[in-house]
Structure 1
Amino acid sequence: MKFIKVLLFAVSVLGVVQVHAQSSAELKRRKEKLNSELADLNREYEETRKNKKATIKQLNILKAQIALREEKITTVNSEIRQLNGQINENTNTVHTLQGQLDQLKKEYAAMVVFAYHNQSAYNKMMFVFAGKDFNQAYKRLKYLQQFGTYRERQAASIQGTQKELHVKINQLDRTKNEKSNLLEEQQKERETLGKERNTQTAVVNDLSKQEGTLKKQQRTLMAQRRQIDRQIQNAIAREVEAARRKAEAEARAEAARRAALAAEKARAENKSAAEIAEAAKPKPITRSTATEALTATPEAAKLNNDFMGNRGLLPWPVATGQIIQDFGPYVSDGIRNDNHGIDIRTSSGAAARAVFEGTVISVNDISGSYMVLLRHGSYITAYANLRSVSVSAGQKVNTRQTLGSVATDPFTGETVIHFELNKAGAIVNPKTWLASQ
């Protein structure tokens, strides 16, 4: 029973350690990614500092740096909490192993005392021959043999437990050192975060002197955003209406064909003229919904289902980037707005990519930049703020196919793509559909 308990304890500890190892690996992978993104932002920020005049790009980079720095501190805190758990578990394991070792030593000491009192061959033989009969003498002989074997096993158990205890103590020391390093890293990150916030305040103060220009730029951006939203809604409305008209025309043609067959059958059955006329009347057509219209054909229905099946797995509309404005309402420089998609900052000259196969609905020019709309069954994706386009309306595209290049704002110096997702006229948060980076 003791052996079984020890085995179960060891298996449970091994399972916990394995889970922690996986979680620790994930946290370290996330921290490395954050470090890489912070390094990119630092390089970009240093380039913007060459201009003595504070810019919107500087402020946006600082905002992104602060957000990533806060996320990194959160990740480090998670690592510290995990290490605290490992330290507690390893400490409990050390105490358990120490207790087992003390018990083994105590039992072994008792065996040594017994063996000392019965160490001579004469005493052993007297013990065997003192049995009442041959059967009892045989059992005593076997007992002495088993006692010797058990003593050897106990000695081996003591050595094994001592070795395991030594390993656990070393592991505990390493974990404590790792925690100490993480605490130092956490302190440095907090100090850096404080400096970045101070720098952000200074940049904001500098930019406040340009408030009139900034407000004008912000209003222009908001106007462009509203124009994008109108273009998307108008294009979707046209697409839905065209699909609905086509579906209804096909339905009317089918209804007329069925009515003609019914009238022909009524004539063949020598029915009255009134009955024939009634049979020849086509049945009224029910107006289809937007979703029904956009998925009326088998091809569109399949594409729609395939798109739905890839929720959370769609590639990003650019190869690399960070979301700088999330989906939903927000306030920027005192101006309230509602983002119907997400804004992704990427590298200069980056290519915009289709997140799924589909058909180009339209290519629109919006205040000097382009927007491409793709249809995937009842789902429609929009890619705005493109400097150039490489597709045309009616063209079929594949997943990750290049649609054009993302434009760089000459005022802010940022390269940002605006991406939206719409389902038959209803706005959808696209972030939940994209794969995690």
Structure 2
Amino acid sequence: MSVDVFAQTYEERREELLKQQENTRAEINVLEARIKNYQAKVNQAEEQFDQSYEKFQSLNNLIALQDDKIKNLQEEQKQIEAEIELTEEEIELRENELEHLIESYQKIILYAYKNGRTGSLELLLTSGSINQMLVRSNYLRRFNEQKNKQAEAIKEARLELDEVKDELEDSYQRNRLVIDEIQDEKQELDNQRQQQELTVEEIKEERSTWLAELRKVREEKENLENSFANLISEEESLREAENERLRRLAEARNIADPSRRADEVEKYSTSSVFRENYVSDEILLTYEQSFAQAKGQMPWPVNSKTVAKKFGRIRNPLYGSVTEHPGIDIISDPGAPVNAVSDGYVMDILPMRGYGDVVFVKHGSYYTAYGNLSSIDVEVGAVLSRGERLGRSGTSESELGEVLFFAVRDGKEFVNPENWLSAK
């Protein structure tokens, strides 16, 4: 295989690695901006001791963001190391190629040394005929051309090898910078965790307030579960009534007597419970199948994958008390667009204590809830496509701050949303 083919393959693969690094660096820059935002919140909270709980929450979000940044930096380091490995392999290939060229050239030079100009003149003068002399002269000319061509190839190979070595040194330098950045971030993270411990000590002094908050959180969760269950029950009852109306309407249209048929059709023609954009059971089934098939591959509802509060049992670091979180809180930019993760329709929109304004979306037997919205762009009954905007996430004025509350319900129980969302 020629040097050009190796170079082309190397360049294409290196370009892909550099593109991956560029994407990872873009994610790091977004995280860095959010870190600065929460750093500002931490600094502001430090100025007022009575805001220690807000400081705790902001530190918690800051630590989650820094953890994510370290993960992205480590991913960038892996990509750079892969680039280094690829470049080192390319250098080895080019060095072997150069060594082969040099060996060939050495053989040519050795032959030329042993059979110098005297030998060449003798070779011509001892020719048996003019034709033989011409043949020998042509051979000597081509020999010199091959020698010069080999020397030029060695020169070009050396230049190309030096260029790839420069690229390797560039990769080494970027890797050293990323490693230094990882160390700095880890040190900063350790400092934040120490600060978190100090903040925890401050909050311990507010035990009675926290216990009241704990009771409130449990009540809010119970209220959300009950409201969700009631919504589902009411919606199912309405759907049963609507399906029964549609069945009777179909029967009425088959009545033979024109007068009676007209009366019965008129009686069942208008829905008393659903608007004109009623979603049929058949369409709901397609929503359900699509939702189920997309498990682990759904888009995140906001342009962020940093989770400040996980799903399920959460143990309080202060008192060891446990609460159940029915969804996840995703840190996002203030007022960021919130998009539907799958096709469905808006079952209801309710203000919920502890979760702000919540949009409930039905996807067959699956449901999603989007809470702490600063604004809502849809109405009850609206049919949504995957990726369609339904509102905007929380701001500093929202009940939960600059986060989106997101929940997934499978039938009668809440499930971990992170199992449904894409890991990439």
In 2, Cα distance between equivalents of 1:174 and 1:407? 42
Q: Structure 1 residue 42 and structure 2 residue 26: aligned?
A: no
3-state SS, counterpart of residue 172 of structure 1: helix
1:280-330 per-residue CA deviation (whole Å, 9 max, x = no partner) reads xxxxxxxxxxxxxx96455555666776787745562x6779532233333
Give the whole-Å Cα distance in 2 for the aligned partners of 1:59 and 1:174. Answer: 41
1:343 matched residue in structure 2 = 329
Amino acid at match of 2:45: T
Q: Corresponding residue for 2:146?
A: 150
1:328 paired with 2:312, answer yes
Q: Flag the 1:206–1:345 CA change in 2: closer, same or farther, 3 A.
A: same
Q: Which amino acid aligns with 2:312?
A: G
Q: Which residue of the partner structure matches residue 111 of structure 2?
A: 114
Q: Structure 2 length normalisation: TM-score?
A: 0.76
Partner amino acid, structure 2, of 1:67: A
Structure 2 partner of 1:185:
181
SS in 1 for 2:49: coil
Supply the AA of the counterpart residue of 1:25: E
- Give the corresponding residue for 1:270: none
Structure 1 residue aligned with 2:75: 78
Does the 8 Å contact 2:46/2:52 carry over to 1?
no
In structure 1, which of residues 373, 386, 392 is the aligned counterpart of residue 360 of structure 2? Answer: 373
Contact 1:387/1:407, CA 8 A, preserved across alignment: no
Please give the TM-score of this superposition, normalised by the length of structure 1: 0.74
Q: Secondary structure at the match of 1:55?
A: helix
Could you tell me which residue of structure 1 aligns to residue 194 of structure 2?
Answer: 198
Answer whether contact 2:334 2:394 (CA < 8 A) is retained: no
Q: Does 1:361 align with 2:350?
A: no
Stretch of structure 1 that moved more, 149-158 or 47-56: 47-56
| Alignment partner, residue 389 of structure 2 | 400
SS of residue paired to 2:389: coil
User: Of 211, 215, 219, which aligns to 1:219?
Assistant: 215
C-alpha distance in 2 between matches for 1:244 and 1:196: 55
Are residues 127 and 188 of structure 1, via their aligned partners in 2, closer, same or farther at CA, if it must alter by over 3 Å? same
Structure 1's 231 and 150: CA in aligned 2 closer, same or farther, altered over 3 A?
Answer: same
What is the rounded CA distance, in whole Å, between the counterparts of 2:234 and 2:242 in structure 1? 12
1:288 aligned residue: none
Q: Report the Cα distance in structure 2 between the residues aligned to 1:73 and 1:151, rounded to whole angstroms.
A: 55
- Equivalent positions of 1:9-408 (< 5 A) are 9-116=6-113, 118-120=115-117, 123-124=119-120, 126-128=122-124, 130=126, 139-251=135-247, 296-297=280-281, 300=284, 312=297, 314=299, 316=301, 322-333=306-317, 334-346=320-332, 359-367=345-353, 369-376=356-363, 378-385=365-372, 393-394=380-381, 399-402=388-391, 408=397
**Deviations 1:252-279 (Å, cap 9, x if unpaired)?**
6657988x89xxxxxxxxxxxxxxxxxx
- 3-state SS in 2 of match to 1:380: strand
Identity across aligned pairs (percent)? 21
3-state SS in 1 of match to 2:152 = helix
Q: Is the 8 A contact 2:344 2:362 kept in 1?
A: yes
Higher alpha-carbon Rg: 1
Aligned partners of 1:76 and 1:186 also within 8 Å: yes
Instruction: Using the TM superposition, name which of 419-428 and 70-79 deviates more.
Output: 419-428
- Distance in 2 between residues matched to 1:319 and 1:186, nearest whole Å: 24
CA distance in 1, matches of 2:25, 2:335: 31
After TM superposition, give the deviation of residue 213 of structure 1 in Å.
0.8
Cα distance in 2, alignment partners of residues 226 and 29 from structure 1: 40
Q: Tell me the amino acid that sits aligned with residue 208 of structure 1.
A: K
Question: 5+ residue gaps in structure 1?
Answer: 262-293
Q: Alpha-carbon deviations, 1:196-223, whole Å to 9, x = none?
A: 1110000000001111211211220121
CA distance in 1 between counterparts of 2:69 and 2:289 reads 38
SS in 1 for 2:50: coil
Aligned pair in 2 of structure 1 residues 382, 93: CA closer, same or farther (>3 Å)? closer
CA distance in 2, matches of 1:126, 1:254: 112
Deviation at 1:370, TM superposition (A): 4.1
Describe the shift of the 1:357–1:81 C-alpha distance in structure 2 as closer, same or farther (beyond 3 A). closer
Report the equivalent of 2:272: none
CA–CA distance in structure 2, aligned partners of residues 302 and 201 of structure 1: 50
CA RMSD of aligned residues (A): 4.0
Partners in 2 of 1:436 and 1:147 — Cα distance?
Answer: 62
Deviations 1:209-257 (A, max 9, x none): 1112112112201211110111011101211222133324544665798
Q: Is the 8 A contact 2:373 2:398 kept in 1?
A: no
What amino acid sits opposite 1:382 in the alignment? A
In structure 2, stretches of 5+ residues that fail to align are 257-277
Work out the CA distance in 2 between the residues paired with 1:336 and 1:197. 21
The one-letter code matched in structure 1 to 2:231 is: A
Between stretches 350-359 and 221-230, larger displacement belongs to 350-359
